[in-house]
Structure 1
Amino acid sequence: MLFTRASFVIALATSVVAAAPLERRWGGWGNWNHDGGRPWWTPSSSYLDFGKRFPGADSNAPTCDLSQAVMPTAPTPLPAPAPGLSLSHVAIGRGTQNYTCDLTNATAPPVAVGAKATLFNVSCLAADTPALLAKLPSIALDLPIPASDGDDSSPAYQDISGHHFFLDATTPFFDLDTTLHQYGTGQFKKANSSAAPTDAVLGTNGQGFGSVTWLKLDAKDAAGQVLQEVYRLNTAGGQPPKTCQGMAAAFEVQYSAEYWIWAQ
């Protein structure tokens, strides 16, 4: 299956929207300085110079020193991460929120039944340029949804953190293992939520019903996985209409969000 051009564009947008040097990219397609397009790195330099958090020969996607990164504050503040955890990864998720409707009751609200998204690594932006990171969910929302199973020969593939989906209606799952890295996997449960800001993006191209809530997720089995807590922040889109009037029995609403992942 081909990794689509749209996927490449999203990967590129999550790393080089601004003309500021970030980290070197695998395969030589990198970021560029302000000095006429000459690369800021040399063959002997790498994104390790930016404080790669998980060094290892099997890991090409950049992950930076996140010790100073600060999560956005929700309108109703979410609880802080548990003591002893450290921020291990930050990703932009781009995909859909999924809903069902009872077609015998047009006035009933749609029922949320999960989500699915491709996750793109933006750890270095969280560490170094948080103002740029905050703009990316709304930018990604206006780009096509990436292919669900990208071609790992594509240079864009190294920016993929993994995938997010649901095992059942209440169990979100994060798979951050790819052929390039093993950041971990985990099953989670909803712990806390906060309504999105009142000025949040309505939906794709500014049209829609609003942005889904900000969330704190806790591990379902804290003793059985490294990944312990996930925050869904700076959401863009994803809300369904208030009623099922005119809707299908099952439908999707496009969304994007930041995911901040904490580990033991």
Structure 2
Amino acid sequence: MLFAQASCLLALTAVVAAAPFEKVEKRWGGWGGGWGGNGRPWWSPSAASSYLEFGKRYPGSNTAAPTCDLSQVTLPTASTPLPAPAAGLSLSHVAIGRGTQNYTCDLANATATPVAIGAVATLFNVSCVAADSPDLLQKLPSIALDLPVPSTANEDSAAYQDMSGHHFFTDSSTPFFDMDTSLHSYGTGAFKKTNTSAAPAGAPLGQYGVGNGSVAWLKLDAKSSDGQIFQEVYRTLTAGGNPGNYCTGMPAAFEVQYAAAYFLFEKP
């Protein structure tokens, strides 16, 4: 079991890192291996095959994304529990987000602290992992954090077949999820932060174990329920992203690497 889970973890890194490999013969199975950011190979076709069998149940290239029974999936428990999803909503999607939290500093103020101005992340579908192996899901954000930020230049590659979409901010207080891509149409939506909980003790300090800790877990509610599929989003299992408490020595604008698991709820 431990070997199978390790294989799954290695294979998922191929998706999150989205290195620019070419699709050969069939998805995953035809690839000859990949290379991590440190120049060493970090997955193999056998690992990818194990991932297929274990979590994704992917039906093949050029088809719809897999669907899994999410009715028994439970949200990770925050340090201070976040409110439960509203009555009548159902979990419809789970994604790993990998990107940056973005901040500014007032350099004219000697006592200024970093101000959050949003985030940018690429989202990858891990719904079946959440359904089949919640213990495995717990590990994925910290693994994703130590991989390169996905490049938009490679979004036509086979690795991006599992891309759910993108997360960004339309202004400093409006997180937006654009999950309509050339391959999938899951929906879009604008949200507002309604609840927050500090990341648990032991959450990753930052990329490669260096940093100021992990950003808070959040509950987001739709700004408008009219014409929007997703109604609530939970940001959980955060890894990195915290800027620290001081602006001393920082530039006027900067990014901090982060990853997280996002749980998206919709009306039935």
* TM-score (normalizing by structure 1): 0.81
1:58, CA displacement in angstroms?
Answer: 8.2
Distance 2:49 2:123 in 1: 27
Identity %: 66
Q: Does 2:82 align with 1:78?
A: yes
Distance 2:254 2:211 in 1: 14
Compared CA separation, residues 254 and 37, structure 1 to 2 (3 A)? closer
Distance 1:244 1:206 in 2: 21
One of 184, 192, 196 as aligned partner of 2:195: 192
Contact 1:74 1:194 in 2 (8 A): yes
Contact 2:13 2:147 in 1 (8 A): no
Give the aligned CA root-mean-square deviation in angstroms.
2.8
SS in 1 for 2:152: coil
Q: Does 2:33 align with 1:12?
A: no
Compared CA separation, residues 83 and 149, structure 1 to 2 (3 A)? farther
1:62, CA displacement in angstroms?
Answer: 2.4
Compared CA separation, residues 59 and 177, structure 1 to 2 (3 A)? farther
1:27, CA displacement in angstroms?
Answer: 3.9
Q: Does 2:177 align with 1:177?
A: no
Distance 1:38 1:136 in 2: 15
Distance 1:180 1:193 in 2: 33
Q: Does 2:97 align with 1:98?
A: no
- Counterpart of 1:137? 141
Paired residue type of 1:237: G
- Counterpart of 1:29? 28
One of 64, 80, 86 as aligned partner of 2:68: 64
Instruction: Give matches, 1:37-56, under 5 Å.
Output: 47=58
Name structure 2 gaps, 5 residues minimum. Answer: 1-8, 17-24, 30-45
Name structure 1 gaps, 5 residues minimum. Answer: 1-8, 17-25, 31-35, 49-56
SS in 2 for 1:222: coil
- Counterpart of 1:21? none
One of 159, 163, 181 as aligned partner of 2:162: 159
Contact 1:213 1:235 in 2 (8 A): yes
Spell out, residue by residue over 1:149-199, the C-alpha distance to the aligned partner (whole angstroms, 9 max, x if none). 5332x1111110000000000000001111111000000000100000121
1:241, CA displacement in angstroms?
Answer: 1.9
